Amino acid sequence: MSSPAAPPNPAQWRVRALGVLTAMVLLAGVVAAVGDDDIEAPADGAIVEVDGRSTVVRVGGQPVALATGDQVRAGDEVIVESGTIVLRLAGGGVLEGRAADEDIDATRVVMGAVPELVAGDLLVVGGNGLDVDAAGTVVALGPSGATENAVRIRRGLSVLTGVYRGAALVESAGQQRSVPALRQIGISSIGRPAANPDPLAYDNADRWDLRYLGAAIDLGIALDRYSRSFTANVGPNGGRTTAGYELLLPRLAGEPEFDAADLAAPRDPGDVLVGAAITVVARDGSFQDRWNSVFEFRDEGAAWGLVALDQGVDEAPVLADVEQALSIASRPPAREVATPPLGPTPTSPPSPPATAGTTATT
């Protein structure tokens, strides 16, 4: 018969207790990590990320400050008091609001199956099935393509919807309008949408505009400068021949569809140069289709950077072609060399003929 095992001494108890405590702490950390990853927004609600101060007004309640990780539910009204807020929706998609500035009130949005923009600006990012209501105007995001749709909505005295990328369908007063990327459409105070969308207007200092259009904004500034420089160099009535533009933009020489009819519209020579440079770099459609698309968008008021982005061209070859054209245009004209006379050149002038009453000297 074996003797019973000796009980562990106090030092052994301390080691065992420390091991159990360590395991419990590690397990709690794992559970917490898994829980954080598995947190889902409530139905028709969202999980928030706050940068600054935002509050939520629950149904029948008082404003309560929000913190990152909080949930908002259907019927809750979210108000941005300073900074920004991001709302990650249960059904997918993201809403982003921001504080007031001198032009617009702070974002106020009521959560629901169709979130309602009560006031201010709202950035909506997501795919098909994400709708937002603003004063009875419903903005529906189009099907997602290679990238998600990104749409900004502004509700002030009227409603303005602009599309950074993708597309949106705007419905108001029983009328629908499709809004492609880089366009915007306004809804009047009586709820009637404009007949056609306009080119997207942007602010060089707006953070959302810079996020989605930063490169296009910079490109537009450069191309505007080059356009003015070229027009000043050749004059408003210069640059009217196809041969001249083919000399400045060698890529044009390989476009058989380029002809005098393309230069018939009354445009500044600099605008023709920039538009032609974008057209020859673009590759979607025939040359004439691209030419018409470029100048139609420009004539509607689009900045050159938006025109280039709309054509899907990289800025580098466009800038390189325009800069090369300006260099060629700034060269002094070749000096003409006088044509020498035909026949032998006399070595000395002939003697004048003798006149009556004089005798030639010998």
| Spatial CB neighbours of 303, under 8 Å, sequence gap ≥ 6 | 199, 202, 216, 217, 220, 224
Model pLDDT, residue 170: 97
Is the separation of the CB atoms in 229 and 326 below 8 Å?
yes
Per-residue pLDDT band for 316 (boundaries 50, 70, 90) equals: very high
Is the separation of the CB atoms in 277 and 321 below 8 Å?
yes
Nearest to 87 by CA among 73, 102, 104: 73
* Block residue for tokens 């000399």: 247
The tens digit of pLDDT for each residue in 246-287 reads: 999 999 998 999 999 999 899 999 999 999 999 999 999 999
Model pLDDT, residue 9: 52
Record the tokens describing residue 128, joined without a space.
Answer: 């098909």
**What percent of the chain is predicted at pLDDT more than 70?**
78
Q: Quick check: 13 pLDDT over 70?
A: no
Helix (H) / strand (E) containing 175: strand 175-180
Report the C-alpha gap between 251 and 24 in whole angstroms. 71
Burial zone of 306 (CB within 10 Å; 0-12 exposed, 13-18 middle, 19+ buried): buried
Entry pTM: 0.79
Q: What average pLDDT does this structure show over 226-233? A: 93
Phi-psi region of 274 (alpha: psi -120 to 50; beta: other; left: phi over 0): alpha
HEC string of 231-275 equals: HHHHCCCCCCCHHHHHHHCHHHHHCCCCCHHHHCCCCCHHHHHHH
Model pLDDT, residue 248: 94
Is the separation of the CB atoms in 110 and 95 below 8 Å?
no
Q: Quick check: 3 pLDDT over 90?
A: no
Model pLDDT, residue 59: 84
Per-residue pLDDT band for 148 (boundaries 50, 70, 90) equals: confident
Model pLDDT, residue 236: 64
Record the tokens describing residue 348, joined without a space.
Answer: 């000395």
DSSP 174: T
The tens digit of pLDDT for each residue in 169-217 reads: 999 999 999 999 999 999 987 888 999 999 999 999 999 999 999 999 9
Q: What average pLDDT does this structure show over 292-313? A: 98
Model pLDDT, residue 11: 46
Q: What average pLDDT does this structure show over 134-156? A: 90
Domain boundaries of the chain, sorted by first residue:
46-199, 214-330
Burial 111-139 (b: 16+ CB within 10 A, else e): beeebbbbbbbbbbbbeeebbbbbbebeb
Residue 306 identity (one-letter amino acid): L
Q: Which of the pair, 350 or 147, is modelled with greater confidence?
A: 147
Arithmetic mean of pLDDT over the chain: 85
Per-residue pLDDT band for 344 (boundaries 50, 70, 90) equals: low
Assigned fold of 46-199: Jelly Rolls (2.60.120)
Is the separation of the CB atoms in 304 and 219 below 8 Å?
yes
Report the C-alpha gap between 64 and 48 in whole angstroms. 13
Q: What average pLDDT does this structure show over 307-313? A: 97
Q: What average pLDDT does this structure show over 104-125? A: 97
The tens digit of pLDDT for each residue in 15-48 reads: 444 444 444 433 344 334 334 445 677 888 999 9
